[in-house]
Amino acid sequence: MPPGLSDLTAAQAAMVEFLRIDEDLIAAAAEGTEVYTDDRTGLRKWALGLTLRAKDEWLRRAIDDPDLALGGELLRVFHAETKSARACRQRTVGELRAAVAKHRALRERAEAERAAKAKTVADAARRKRLDALAKRVDAAWADLEALVEKSAYEAAIRLAIDLRDLSRRDGSSVPFAALFEAMRKRQLRRRGFFDRWKRENKVERS
């Protein structure tokens, strides 16, 4: 297994994403692999110990290809030729699949925990927003109608959703439905808003 697999470069990460390589497979395969280090002392000693013929070849490459990232290429060859004895042991396909399953389970559990935490935070923020809205329901309905009149439909939809959810939370959706229908009759020309509201409720029911 090549060193550095646990710390992909941006180009390697982009290739993994483009080829849709399983990220859990990469993580499992990287277990126990070496990490690239910028061993300048070792690199310098190795480079100075090269034969004159090898040094001439590196000079020729630098002259023939001035865009070559010579330092990085030297480091790559240095690592390849001085590979540590702590090589990653070979694993069977079955062992690798088991490692993939372990990584996937750990990742999915971590993702579920993050999602649950985010939902808890979002729910608390929503409760706080609805509590504040409950103290100014009449003014909020006036704000909603003003937003509809100004064709500010995005903000109007968000406020209407909050008013609907507040009414449900407090025990009944009938007051909301009655007030909303009264507003619709006053704002018959604003069909765009009411069409969007209909789609919003259709998505919710589905």
Q: Are residues 15 and 101 in the same domain?
A: yes
Q: Are residues 40 and 87 in the same domain?
A: yes
pLDDT (tens, 9 = 90+) of the chain, 206 residues, equals: 565 677 777 888 888 899 999 988 888 888 766 555 556 778 888 888 889 998 888 888 888 887 777 777 787 788 777 765 445 457 788 888 899 999 999 999 999 999 999 999 999 999 999 999 999 999 999 999 999 999 999 999 999 999 999 999 987 656 899 999 999 999 989 999 999 999 888 766 65
**Is residue 53 in a domain?**
yes
Q: Are residues 84 and 27 in the same domain?
A: yes
Q: Are residues 86 and 40 in the same domain?
A: yes
Q: Are residues 146 and 92 in the same domain?
A: no
- CA terminus-to-terminus distance, the chain: 48
Q: Are residues 48 and 91 in the same domain?
A: yes
Token code pair at residue 79: 């690592």
Q: Are residues 89 and 142 in the same domain?
A: no
**Is residue 17 in a domain?**
yes
Q: What is the pTM of this model?
A: 0.53
DSSP 50: S
Domain count, the chain: 2
Which stretch of DSSP H or E encloses residue 92?
none
Residue 158 sits in which domain range?
136-205
Q: How far is 135 from 91, CA to CA, in rounded Å?
A: 64
Q: How far is 43 from 49, CA to CA, in rounded Å?
A: 10
**Is residue 122 in a domain?**
no
**Is residue 94 in a domain?**
yes
**Is residue 23 in a domain?**
yes
**Is residue 131 in a domain?**
no
Q: Are residues 103 and 177 in the same domain?
A: no
Q: Are residues 97 and 148 in the same domain?
A: no
Token code pair at residue 54: 């090898």
